């Protein structure tokens, strides 16, 4: 199996190269001049020419790509036009926010979806099943940005129980260690900061995770439905095991296999969904950074971000494949 | 991917199907009802809308919903335009985009899949590499980037949405074509030639239609949400075309003062997508319960 | 399960409430949080060219000199006073009581270093055109005297350096290198020091109680937190929640929500940003009559009273009251007259109308999309066949700079003194944004720039602006009245150019 995985890993390299080429071409094909964007209203032609030369934008396209790809391989995406700092460090400061948001979304989704799905699946056609199915359906049909807007309107605007935006209230959090505010505050045993971080992350994570919640619920439910009919469940029941035991011990562990697949598959959707949710909630992550970078035609930053997202996506898929093989002994490559 | 043949469907344990049957009808009915209304509204469009969706009345801005029978049933927006009419016209655009995207991506996907699977070799390798590269982009990202760089426009939007959506069709058809080739050799070894046509007609096409129908239904739902998302981010259609997504984007600064502005377009998206998903669910349950892809895909 | 849950929810809410109230009543120190719409991008004080940051950095490092809107003239701060030695040479005399955070005095060497090394010669500086402007050389005459040399006579020089020139420490730069000096050893001579900066999120400044300016304003807050909040609804909600005490730029329709709250109030100020419709002199806009027809077609008063709810002042000419050189009797007045527009179009050879495409950014200026959407039916009623395009800002801006946008809605900020703006948009060959050329206008603009006598200068400006209004390469529309939301705990009068000076804030 390791040889399969290494083969796959190696196979991704030409794919990544092609991706970088596609991204590079797309960005340069666009109308909109980065130098003008970043030099402000009152600039003049001489300044623009100088900036172009400094940023290497006056060289022919293939040369630009070559310079880009040779440094990209070492993780160096050049300097951001907008922030005048290396792209990798700009991305590094914003990435933890997105990762934290994604992780909390997954946690919320799984914590709610799996028990609900198992419950619904183990009692098909009951009112619980109907409730669960409807909930799942709602989850996958709900546009995340609309949910976000409604949440802000009700919870922050009308009821005033949650903050409207941002990651933390100024002056509450301690110094950053990992960049994951929840983790940092727990590590520093600062409960005030932990609560503060939690209240800020709740709405965006809910809006982001709602789709995954729906999907997971449905997948869990159908997996449970299928497994419930399998021989070993019938056998367990025949043995006289209490229904609860049957459900939790035998059914759940087997139903988790497709769940892992789904989480892996949906991570990509989660990553791109975070772009919208971060915009709605003004969450300072890499998603809102991407929108800013696109608006500023900040070529290095956009390329760096898109590469980061796709590389992460490819790696995650690889891991999921591996996990899948580990968890399901029936699968052998 | 599991092989999708009629045999596998019909040999499914009868217990599951009979248990699902009563629930199936409810789902199919509600879903179809919603979808049909959506299509009807979309097609009727201008005839159904009471007022011109682009007619501004600066003295009648931000009027609250007045209820059925009044001049502005759902109220007016920030330029005094009738919201009900705009929502109806929005249905038309969403419908158009959804159908166009599903049709074009289906066409491209099926053709490329057939070519890829049937010819094999270098052609297959190239097409699959293309699939890998394009599929590697997280879903909305490619759409946003394409739209940000191509600029606003209905055509560009459809292009951006088709960019990744042809791939599921391609994969399925290729799988079918591949298994056809294998079976072809086996069958040709055993019988003589005539069975090829029967295999295509009897097994491949029906399966294709079934799977495409299921994929297509969920793809419609996701296209509607994707169009709304792109319009929401400002990289969708130009302003003279009212779409649910742009209405939501415009409504962002009026959330607390005019709740009807974000509520109705968002509700429309939600209900339409819900109906489509219901229908898709029912379709899938009827045609192929073994498909475990429970989500709307990309 | 219910009781358990509800008890915990109650506890959580109580804790949240305590937290919120604790945050807004800091015991000994006064802290004011401001929700701003601009983004704070970098540690490099010279790396941004936006109004807000000019103001904040100026306060940390000076300001060099400042414009007093009430008096209508410039005042000294770090640069105590100045003298025009000859038309291309200015002398600035520094205040000897301004000291860096480490106690060392701010000297002319620092000013020269800031202007030459950091503003003009540093590739990362984005401020060369707007701060250095016509200045080509800065030299130290003695420890506290600086000489600026310009390439041609520049009467409006103060508009470039006041509230904009950021003076940082040469010693720190030399000792620690640029990046470390900016990030870890930021020092300035101003009444506030930089306490915290997270790009994209916030900037925190803390008062220096021993500074002469701080002593003059004892009510100024001890700490000011600038929080980036670009979303309008969230900014307003944060103000209502007490998360911030000042909210920048409340759109007119949200003002009632703020005013309804007993702890909040709305304060308005006329912006110095002029909003206009620009037209390139290519068909159909090559004919003056067509351009004038556009100006007469727009019912500015109706737009102002309905969409802007009265929070804008109409412009009859490039500038309005309070801006340098404003002439209330400027002629002609392009009043609302769609019938006249139709006649003008017929005169120009378009009796059956003409197709035009108006381009506008979205979300860059107050209600930009809505306002231009409202203009389309007005243009149509005046005989045009108009369409609206809403390209993305970077695309639009790039195209405007290249000169490929024939008809667009735009704003020009920081117009205290119209000279720079008029040159930029209307002087032959200066920028391709409009591509307008009028030798009479050019000579008037040359004269005003070189004229140091204020009375004569204002006359030249008036004549130039009269020509501009009549020839109409642009229709001057309005200046927004910018609304700010304030918590009753603070007293603050916002400035027309959206600079925020903590010294002006009074806490109760």
Per-residue pLDDT of C212-246, as tens digits, reads: 999 999 999 999 999 988 778 778 888 988 889 99
pLDDT higher at A287 or B115: A287
pLDDT higher at C444 or C393: C444
Is C390 close to B238, i.e. CB distance below 8 A? yes
Q: Which whole number is the average pLDDT over B100-125?
A: 86
C40 touching A (Cβ < 8 Å): no
CA–CA distances in Å: residue A281 to residues A57, A142, B138: 34, 17, 21
Q: Is the C-alpha dihedral spanning A271, A275, A278, A284 positive or negative? A: positive
**Residue B10 CB partners (closer than 8 Å, separation 6+):** none
Residue C92: in which H helix or E strand, if any? strand C89-94
pLDDT over 50 (residue B11): no
Please count the other Cβ atoms lying within 10 Å of the Cβ belonging to residue C282.
Answer: 11
pLDDT of residue C253: 85
From C229, C237, C399, residue closest to A31, measured CB to CB:
C399
From C128, C202, C392, residue closest to A295, measured CB to CB:
C392
DSSP secondary structure, A124-144, as one string: TTSHHHHHHHHHHHHHHHS-H
pLDDT higher at B134 or B296: B134
Q: Which whole number is the average pLDDT over C503-508?
A: 90
Q: Are A113 and A210 in contact (CB under 8 A)?
A: no
Q: Are C65 and C81 in contact (CB under 8 A)?
A: no
The answer to whether residue A120 is domain-embedded is: yes
B46 touching C (Cβ < 8 Å): no
**A60/A150 same-domain check:** no
Is B253 close to C370, i.e. CB distance below 8 A? no
From A51, A54, A165, residue closest to C234, measured CB to CB:
A165
The answer to whether residue A7 is domain-embedded is: yes
The answer to whether residue A319 is domain-embedded is: yes
Which domain, by its residues, includes A38? 2-72
pLDDT of residue C7: 60
**A301/A263 same-domain check:** yes
pLDDT of residue A73: 75
pLDDT of residue C63: 93
Q: How confident is the model at residue A182 (pLDDT cuts 50, 70, 90)?
A: confident
The tens digit of pLDDT for each residue in C297-332 reads: 999 999 999 999 899 999 999 998 888 888 888 988
pLDDT of residue A246: 65
Check which CATH number belongs to the domain holding A242 and give it.
1.10.3720.10
* Cα–Cα dist C235/C38, whole Å: 12
pLDDT of residue B210: 74
From A36, A164, A292, residue closest to C238, measured CB to CB:
A164
pLDDT over 80 (residue C270): yes
Q: Are C440 and C292 in contact (CB under 8 A)?
A: no
Of these ranges, B25-39, C2-16, C383-397, C449-463, the one predicted with the greatest mean pLDDT is C449-463
pLDDT over 50 (residue A333): no
Q: Name the percent of chain C lying above pLDDT 70.
A: 94
Q: How confident is the model at residue B294 (pLDDT cuts 50, 70, 90)?
A: very low
Q: Which whole number is the average pLDDT over A283-304?
A: 85
pLDDT over 50 (residue B4): no
pLDDT of residue A231: 63
* Cα–Cα dist B79/C306, whole Å: 9
**A196/A236 same-domain check:** yes
Q: Is the C-alpha dihedral spanning C254, C260, C261, C264 positive or negative? A: positive
Residue C137: in which H helix or E strand, if any? strand C135-142
* Cα–Cα dist C48/C460, whole Å: 33
Q: Which whole number is the average pLDDT over A220-240?
A: 74
The answer to whether residue A169 is domain-embedded is: yes
Biggest alpha carbon–alpha carbon distance for chain A: 86
C23 touching A (Cβ < 8 Å): yes
Q: Name the percent of chain A lying above pLDDT 70.
A: 83
pLDDT over 60 (residue A220): yes
* Cα–Cα dist C127/C132, whole Å: 7
C397 touching A (Cβ < 8 Å): yes
pLDDT over 60 (residue A330): no
**A140/A7 same-domain check:** no
**A14/A121 same-domain check:** no
* Cα–Cα dist C31/C23, whole Å: 9
Which 3-state string (H, E, C) describes B242-288? CCHHHHHHHHHHHCCCCCHHHHHHHHHHHHHHHHHHHHHHHHHHHHC
Q: Is the bond preceding C276 in cis, omega lying within 30 degrees of 0?
A: no
Tokens of residue C308, six digits: 């802007």
Q: Which whole number is the average pLDDT over A158-178?
A: 76
Q: Which long-range contacts (CB under 8 A, 24 or more apart) does B188-196 make?
A: none
Q: Which whole number is the average pLDDT over C442-460?
A: 91
**A156/A17 same-domain check:** no
C361-382 residues labelled b (16+ CB within 10 A) or e (exposed): bbbebbbbbbbbbbbbbbbbeb
Mutation target for A interface from C359, C394, C423, C427: give the one with most A CBs within 10 A: C394
Question: Of the ranges A183-197, A271-285, B229-243, which one carries the lowest mean pLDDT score?
Answer: B229-243
* Cα–Cα dist C504/C492, whole Å: 6
Q: Are C64 and C78 in contact (CB under 8 A)?
A: yes
Q: How confident is the model at residue B92 (pLDDT cuts 50, 70, 90)?
A: confident
pLDDT of residue C348: 92
**Residue C190 CB partners (closer than 8 Å, separation 6+):** C58, C59, C60, C61, C62, C63, C78, C98, C208, C211, C213
**A104/A202 same-domain check:** yes
Question: Of the ranges B183-197, C344-358, C451-465, which one carries the lowest mean pLDDT score?
Answer: B183-197
In 3D space, the residue among A217, A180, A218, A210 whose CA is nearest the CA of residue A277 turns out to be A210
pLDDT over 80 (residue A35): no
Contacts of B257 in chain C (CB under 8 A): 253-254, 256-257
Q: Are C418 and C325 in contact (CB under 8 A)?
A: yes
Contacts of A314 in chain B (CB under 8 A): 136
How much is the ipTM here? 0.77
pLDDT over 70 (residue B9): no
pLDDT of residue B53: 79
Of these ranges, A199-203, B66-70, B200-204, C401-405, the one predicted with the greatest mean pLDDT is A199-203
Q: Which whole number is the average pLDDT over B58-67?
A: 84
Biggest alpha carbon–alpha carbon distance for chain C: 84
pLDDT of residue B298: 32
The answer to whether residue A175 is domain-embedded is: yes
Is C370 close to B256, i.e. CB distance below 8 A? no
Q: How confident is the model at residue C265 (pLDDT cuts 50, 70, 90)?
A: very high
Secondary structure of residue C152 in the 3-state scheme: coil
Contacts of C251 in chain B (CB under 8 A): 253
Summary mean pLDDT of chain C: 88
**A15/A115 same-domain check:** no
**Residue C237 CB partners (closer than 8 Å, separation 6+):** A152, A156, A157, A164, B256
Q: How confident is the model at residue B204 (pLDDT cuts 50, 70, 90)?
A: low
Is B61 close to C307, i.e. CB distance below 8 A? yes
B215-248 residues labelled b (16+ CB within 10 A) or e (exposed): bbbbbbbbbbbbbbbbbbbbbbbbbebbbbbbbb
pLDDT of residue B14: 52
Q: Which whole number is the average pLDDT over C2-28?
A: 53
**A6/A115 same-domain check:** no
Q: B residues 252-271 near C, CB within 8 Å?
A: 252-258
Q: C residues 202-231 near A, CB within 8 Å?
A: 202, 204, 225, 227-231
| A contact chains, 3+ CB pairs < 8 A | B, C
A100-136 residues labelled b (16+ CB within 10 A) or e (exposed): bbbbbbbebbbebbbebbbbbbbbbeeeebeebbebb
pLDDT of residue C130: 84
Question: Of the ranges B156-170, B278-292, C352-366, C475-489, which one carries the lowest mean pLDDT score?
Answer: B278-292
Q: Are A186 and A197 in contact (CB under 8 A)?
A: no
From C44, C129, C234, residue closest to A42, measured CB to CB:
C129
* Cα–Cα dist B4/B288, whole Å: 8
pLDDT over 80 (residue B205): no
pLDDT higher at A49 or C162: C162
pLDDT of residue B297: 38
pLDDT of residue C494: 92
The answer to whether residue A42 is domain-embedded is: yes
The tens digit of pLDDT for each residue in C402-432 reads: 888 999 999 998 888 899 889 889 999 888 8
Strands C223-228 and C246-247: unpaired
Contacts of A145 in chain B (CB under 8 A): 228-229, 232, 248
Q: Is the C-alpha dihedral spanning C302, C305, C306, C310 positive or negative? A: positive
A179 touching C (Cβ < 8 Å): no
Q: How many CB pairs below 8 Å do chains A and B form together? A: 139
**A160/A256 same-domain check:** yes
Is B277 close to A137, i.e. CB distance below 8 A? yes
Number of domains composing chain A? 2
The answer to whether residue A80 is domain-embedded is: no
Biggest alpha carbon–alpha carbon distance for chain B: 81
**A30/A95 same-domain check:** no
The tens digit of pLDDT for each residue in C273-302 reads: 999 999 999 989 999 999 999 999 999 999
In 3D space, the residue among A157, C420, C35 whose CA is nearest the CA of residue B252 turns out to be A157
B145 touching C (Cβ < 8 Å): no
Among A72, A102, A122, where does a domain finish?
Answer: A72
**Residue A97 CB partners (closer than 8 Å, separation 6+):** A167, A179, A283, A284, A285, A286
Question: Of the ranges A130-134, C75-79, C423-427, which one carries the lowest mean pLDDT score?
Answer: A130-134
Q: Are C430 and C442 in contact (CB under 8 A)?
A: no
**A184/A305 same-domain check:** yes
Q: Are B151 and C391 in contact (CB under 8 A)?
A: yes
- List residues bridging with C139 in a β-sheet: C147
The answer to whether residue A184 is domain-embedded is: yes
What is this structure's pTM? 0.79
Is A41 close to C412, i.e. CB distance below 8 A? yes
pLDDT of residue A238: 75
Is C231 close to A157, i.e. CB distance below 8 A? no
pLDDT of residue B19: 56
Summary mean pLDDT of chain A: 79
Altogether, the residues listed in chain B come to a count of: 298
Residue C86: in which H helix or E strand, if any? strand C79-86
């Amino acid at each position: 199996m390791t040889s399969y995985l290494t083969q796959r890993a190696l196979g991704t390299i030409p794919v990544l190269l092609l991706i970088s080429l596609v991204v590079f071409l797309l960005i340069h094909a666009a109308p909109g001049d980065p130098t003008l964007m970043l030099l402000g209203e009152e600039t003049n032609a001489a300044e623009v020419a100088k900036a172009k030369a400094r940023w290497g934008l006056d060289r022919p396209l293939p040369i630009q790509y070559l310079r880009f790809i040779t440094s990209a391989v070492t993780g160096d995406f050049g300097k951001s036009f907008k922030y005048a700092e290396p792209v990798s460090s700009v991305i590094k400061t914003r990435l933890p926010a997105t990762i934290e948001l994604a992780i909390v979304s997954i946690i919320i989704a799984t914590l709610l979806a799996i028990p609900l799905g198992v419950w619904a699946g183990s009692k098909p056609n009951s009112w619980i099943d109907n409730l669960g199915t409807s909930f799942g359906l709602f989850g996958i049909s709900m546009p995340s940005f609309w949910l976000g807007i409604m949440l802000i309107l009700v919870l922050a605007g009308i009821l005033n129980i949650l903050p409207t935006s941002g990651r933390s209230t100024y002056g509450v959090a301690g110094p950053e260690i990992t960049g994951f505010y929840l983790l940092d505050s727990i590590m520093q045993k600062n409960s005030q900061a932990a609560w503060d971080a939690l209240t800020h992350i709740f709405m965006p994570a809910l809006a982001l995770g709602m789709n995954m919640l729906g999907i997971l619920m449905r997948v869990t439910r159908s997996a449970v439905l299928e497994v419930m009919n399998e021989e070993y469940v019938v056998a367990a029941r025949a043995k006289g095991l209490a229904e609860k035991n049957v459900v939790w011990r035998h059914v759940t562990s087997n139903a988790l296999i497709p769940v892992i697949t789904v989480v892996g598959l949906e991570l990509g959707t989660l990553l791109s969904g975070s772009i919208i949710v971060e915009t709605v909630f003004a969450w300072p992550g890499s998603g809102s950074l991407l929108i800013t970078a696109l608006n500023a035609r900040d070529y290095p930053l956009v390329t760096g971000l898109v590469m980061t997202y796709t590389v992460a996506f490819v790696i995650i898929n690889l891991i999921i494949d591996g996990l899948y093989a580990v968890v399901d002994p029936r699968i052998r490559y | 991917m599991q092989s999708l043949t009629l045999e596998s469907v019909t040999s499914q344990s009868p217990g599951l199907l009979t248990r699902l049957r009563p629930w199936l009808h409810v789902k199919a009915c509600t879903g179809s009802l919603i979808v049909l209304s959506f299509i009807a509204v979309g097609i009727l469009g201008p005839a159904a809308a009471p007022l011109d969706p682009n007619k501004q009345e600066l003295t009648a801005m931000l009027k609250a919903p007045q209820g059925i029978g009044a001049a502005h049933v759902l109220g007016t927006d920030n330029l005094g335009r009738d919201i009900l009419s705009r929502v109806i016209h929005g249905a038309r655009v969403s419908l158009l985009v959804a159908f166009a995207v599903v049709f074009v991506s289906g066409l491209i996907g099926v053709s490329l899949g057939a070519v890829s699977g049937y010819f094999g070799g270098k052609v297959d390798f190239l097409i699959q590499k293309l699939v890998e590269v394009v599929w590697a982009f997280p879903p909305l990202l490619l759409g946003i980037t394409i739209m940000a760089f191509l600029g606003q426009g209905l055509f560009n939007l459809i292009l951006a949405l088709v960019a990744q959506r042809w791939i599921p069709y391609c994969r399925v058809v290729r799988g079918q074509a591949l298994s056809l080739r294998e079976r072809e050799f086996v069958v040709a070894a055993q019988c003589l030639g005539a069975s090829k046509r029967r295999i295509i007609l009897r097994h491949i096409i029906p399966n294709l239609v079934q799977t495409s129908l299921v994929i297509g239904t969920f793809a419609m739902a996701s296209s509607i949400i994707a169009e709304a998302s792109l319009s929401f981010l400002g990289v969708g259609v130009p302003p003279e075309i009212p779409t649910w997504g742009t209405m939501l984007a415009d409504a962002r600064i009026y959330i607390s003062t005019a709740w009807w502005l974000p509520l109705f377009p968002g509700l429309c998206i939600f209900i339409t997508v819900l109906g489509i998903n219901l229908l898709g669910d029912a379709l899938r349950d009827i045609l192929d319960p073994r498909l475990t892809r429970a989500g709307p895909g990309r | 399960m219910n009781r358990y849950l509800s008890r915990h929810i109650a506890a959580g809410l109580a804790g949240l409430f305590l937290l919120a109230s604790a945050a807004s009543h800091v015991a000994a120190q006064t802290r004011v949080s401001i929700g701003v719409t601009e983004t704070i991008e970098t540690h490099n004080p010279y790396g941004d060219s936006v109004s807000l940051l000019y103001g904040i950095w100026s306060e940390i490092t000076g300001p060099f000199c400042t414009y007093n809107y009430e008096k209508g003239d410039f005042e000294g701060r770090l640069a105590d006073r100045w003298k025009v030695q000859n038309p291309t040479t200015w002398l600035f005399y520094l205040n000897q009581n301004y000291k860096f955070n480490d106690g060392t005095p701010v000297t002319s060497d620092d000013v020269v270093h800031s202007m030459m090394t950091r503003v003009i010669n540093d590739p990362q500086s984005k401020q060369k055109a707007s701060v250095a402007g016509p200045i080509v050389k800065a030299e130290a005459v003695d420890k506290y005297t600086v000489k600026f040399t310009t390439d041609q006579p520049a009467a409006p020089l103060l508009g470039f350096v006041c509230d904009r020139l950021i003076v940082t420490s040469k010693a720190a730069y030399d000792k620690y290198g640029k990046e470390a000096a900016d990030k870890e050893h930021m020092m300035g001579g101003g009444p506030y020091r930089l306490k915290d900066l997270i790009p994209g999120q916030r900037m925190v400044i803390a008062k220096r109680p021993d500074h002469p300016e701080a002593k003059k304003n004892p009510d100024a807050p001890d700490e000011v937190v600038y929080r980036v909040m670009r979303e309008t609804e969230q900014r307003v909600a944060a103000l209502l929640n007490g998360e911030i005490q000042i909210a920048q730029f409340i759109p007119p329709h949200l003002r009632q929500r703020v005013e309804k709250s007993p702890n909040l109030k709305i304060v308005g100020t006329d912006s110095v940003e002029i909003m206009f419709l620009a037209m390139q002199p290519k068909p159909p806009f090559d004919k003056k009559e067509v351009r004038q027809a556009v100006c007469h077609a727009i019912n500015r008063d109706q737009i102002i009273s309905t969409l802007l709810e009265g929070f804008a002042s109409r412009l009859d000419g490039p500038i309005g009251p309070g801006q340098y050189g404003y002439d209330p009797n400027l002629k002609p007045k392009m009043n609302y007259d769609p019938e006249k527009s139709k006649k003008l179009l017929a005169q120009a050879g378009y009796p059956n109308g003409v197709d035009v495409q108006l381009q506008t950014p979205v979300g860059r200026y107050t209600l930009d999309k809505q306002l231009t959407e409202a203009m389309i039916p007005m243009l149509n009623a005046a005989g045009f066949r108009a369409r609206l395009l809403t390209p993305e800002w970077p695309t639009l801006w790039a195209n405007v700079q290249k000169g490929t946008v024939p008809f667009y809605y735009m704003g020009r900020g920081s117009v205290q003194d119209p000279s720079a703006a008029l040159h930029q948009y209307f002087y032959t060959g200066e920028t391709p944004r409009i591509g307008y050329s009028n030798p009479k206008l050019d000579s008037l603009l040359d004269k005003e720039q070189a004229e140091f006598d204020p009375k004569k200068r204002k006359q030249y400006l008036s004549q130039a602006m009269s020509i501009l209004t009549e020839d109409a390469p642009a229709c001057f529309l309005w200046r927004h009245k910018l609304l700010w939301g304030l918590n009753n705990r603070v007293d603050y009068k916002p400035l027309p150019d959206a600079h925020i000076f903590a010294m002006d804030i009074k806490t109760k």
